[in-house]
């Protein structure tokens, strides 16, 4: 009985934690507060995120740049409900997702479309089947799901390639398929991790136009992680991560990177981490 009672108290505390009131401004759809993530590498603690505070408005198209190992993918994994932070809060459309259990996180992910550098398409399935997959998993009936998949494939300009398998498509086309797949569930957010990292410059530019168009037409809040200044340039807001901390201007980020390198040098750890995001 006492255990039952304790469980109930704990559950109500958990609920309270989850229902942190919506940010004061209703346009803010994502807010992180003092977000930290540590990993254990053997006996060493890696501080991947060291206190990220950021707010994102509905419909924004923003980019996050920073050197390799600075924490970009870790941040995306946290705000995309793929993993939980060590501490801090992540308020996604009014809910704190930082302490949710696996099932709750899976539900949150239904509202998020992911696009990764290596497309993550299933090789034996056609473009149409790949795009339908998230809808099949959700149990949507065949005809409805095909119609939805055709609609998004049309939006990304691939109506004439629906029967092609990934190996029969160019890199740019494969990435269009994965953007279409991310859009099938009409997500509130599109999270992209180096979406053009594996694509030549010319194809990149038309893909960027597509991302801009989708953001504009569908009003989907879009966050792109990139090393590439040309990618960041198409976004309306560019922020930077250096060594697990977020900076709102390039100057601040460059200064932080120089300080970081100086400390690394003092510690005799000469790891070269070039800030491709703008250092000369």
Ligand X SMILES: Nc1ncnc2c1ncn2[C@@H]1O[C@H](COP(=O)(O)OP(=O)(O)OP(=O)(O)O)[C@@H](O)[C@H]1O
Binding site for ligand X (CB under 6 A): 39, 41, 46, 48, 66, 68-74
Q: Which is nearer to ligand X, 70 or 185 (CB)?
A: 70
Q: Which is nearer to Mg ion, 180 or 242 (CB)?
A: 242
Q: Which is nearer to ligand X, 68 or 136 (CB)?
A: 68
Least distance to ligand X from the beta carbon of 87, Å? 16
Give the largest Cα separation in the chain, rounded.
67
Q: Which positions from 68 through 87 interact with Mg ion, judged by CB under 5 A?
A: 73
**Of ligand X, Mg ion, none, which one does residue 126 interact with (CB within 5 to 8 Å by kind)?**
none
Least distance to ligand X from the beta carbon of 191, Å? 13
Q: Which is nearer to ligand X, 77 or 173 (CB)?
A: 77
Least distance to ligand X from the beta carbon of 66, Å? 6
**Of Mg ion, ligand X, none, which one does residue 26 interact with (CB within 5 to 8 Å by kind)?**
none
Query: What would the 3-class secondary structure string for 13-65 be?
Result: HHHHHHCCCCCCCCCEEEEEEEEEEEEEECCEEEEEEEEEEEEEECCCEEEEE
**Of Mg ion, ligand X, none, which one does residue 69 interact with (CB within 5 to 8 Å by kind)?**
ligand X
Least distance to ligand X from the beta carbon of 42, Å? 9
Q: Which is nearer to ligand X, 68 or 206 (CB)?
A: 68
Residue nearest to Mg ion (CB): 73
Least distance to Mg ion from the beta carbon of 100, Å? 23
119: left (phi over 0), alpha (psi -120 to 50) or beta: left
CA neighbor of 180 nearest in space, from 216, 135, 140, 221: 135
Q: Which residue has the tokens 């705000």?
A: 79
Contact 119, 175 (CB under 8 A): yes
The CB-side HSE value for 43 (13 A sphere, CA atoms) comes to: 0
Q: Which is nearer to Mg ion, 72 or 161 (CB)?
A: 72
Strand stretches in the chain, DSSP E: 28-41, 44-57, 61-65, 87-92, 95-96, 112-116, 189-193, 221-226, 237-242, 245-247
Chain contacts with Mg ion (rule: CB under 5 A):
73
């Amino acid at each position: 009985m006492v255990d039952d009672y304790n469980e109930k108290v704990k559950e109500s505390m958990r609920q309270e934690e989850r229902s942190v009131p919506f940010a004061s401004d209703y346009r803010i759809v994502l807010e992180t507060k003092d977000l930290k993530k540590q990993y254990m590498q053997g006996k060493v603690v890696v501080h991947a995120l060291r206190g990220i505070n950021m707010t994102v408005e509905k419909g924004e198209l923003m980019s996050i740049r920073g050197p390799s190992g600075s924490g970009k993918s870790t941040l995306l994994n946290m705000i995309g409900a793929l993993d939980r932070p060590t501490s801090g809060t992540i308020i996604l459309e009014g809910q704190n997702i930082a302490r949710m259990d696996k099932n709750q996180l899976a539900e949150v992910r239904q509202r998020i479309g992911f696009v990764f550098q290596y497309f993550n398409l299933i090789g034996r399935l056609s473009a149409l089947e790949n795009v339908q997959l998230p809808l099949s998993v959700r149990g949507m009936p065949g005809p409805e799901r095909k119609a939805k998949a055709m609609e998004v494939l049309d939006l990304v300009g691939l109506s004439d390639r629906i029967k092609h398998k990934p190996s029969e498509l160019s890199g740019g086309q494969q990435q269009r398929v994965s953007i279409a797949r991310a859009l099938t569930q009409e997500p509130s957010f599109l999270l992209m991790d180096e979406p053009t990292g594996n694509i030549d410059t010319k194809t990149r530019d038309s893909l960027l136009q597509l991302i801009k168009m989708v953001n504009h037409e569908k009003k989907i809040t879009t966050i792109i992680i990139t090393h590439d200044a040309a990618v960041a340039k198409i976004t309306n807001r560019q922020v930077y991560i250096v060594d697990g901390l977020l900076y709102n201007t390039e100057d601040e980020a460059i200064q932080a990177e120089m300080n970081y390198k100086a400390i690394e040098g003092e510690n005799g750890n000469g790891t070269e981490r070039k800030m491709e995001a703008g250092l000369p």
